[in-house]
């Protein structure tokens, strides 16, 4: 007797019990639920806001430390590369996070991370211009 798919039940391919016992998870191919994606996006947004606020605070403190009028001229000592690296670590981490979220098929988290990545890059360019003006 044929079922609604048109293939008799005894001719349909069967899943072997052995395949499931070997650790294959049939839900492994499915992307995460939208609720999990939205919850992760909210959590990452809070963390990203704190990271970007810390970056902006560091920029503010660095700018204020060099804004005092001094009677002696600048010696032109330059800015160490470690300081540039500190300003570009946050945008780099945001970019990697956006890429990972996109690869995990989590569009909400990937979009949020991408937007924070853009803000981080803008702050990174601002910090670079500020640091180069000190040299």
Task: Report the predicted TM-score, pTM, of the whole model to 2 decimal places.
Answer: 0.69
Residue 131 and residue 87 in contact, taking contact as beta carbons nearer than 8 Å: yes
What are the residue ranges spanned by the domains of the chain? Answer: 32-64+81-135
Q: What pLDDT sits at residue 58?
A: 87
| Greater pLDDT, 44 or 30 | 44
H helical segments located in the chain:
17-21, 34-65, 81-103, 107-134
User: Could you read off the pLDDT of 77-112 as tens digits, one per residue?
Assistant: 677 788 888 889 999 999 999 999 999 889 999 999
């Amino acid at each position: 007797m044929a079922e609604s798919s048109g293939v008799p039940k005894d001719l349909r391919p069967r899943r072997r019990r052995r395949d499931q016992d070997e650790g294959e998870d049939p839900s492994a191919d499915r992307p995460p639920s939208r609720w999990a994606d939205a919850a992760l996006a909210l959590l990452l947004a809070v963390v990203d806001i704190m990271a970007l606020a810390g970056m902006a605070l560091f920029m503010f403190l660095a700018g204020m430390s060099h804004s005092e009028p001094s009677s002696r001229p600048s010696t032109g000592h330059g800015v160490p590369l470690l300081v540039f690296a500190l300003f570009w670590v946050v945008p780099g981490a945001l970019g990697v996070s956006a890429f990972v979220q996109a690869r995990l098929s989590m569009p909400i988290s990937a979009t949020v991370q991408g937007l924070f990545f853009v803000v981080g890059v803008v702050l990174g360019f601002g910090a670079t211009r500020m640091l180069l003006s000190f040299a």
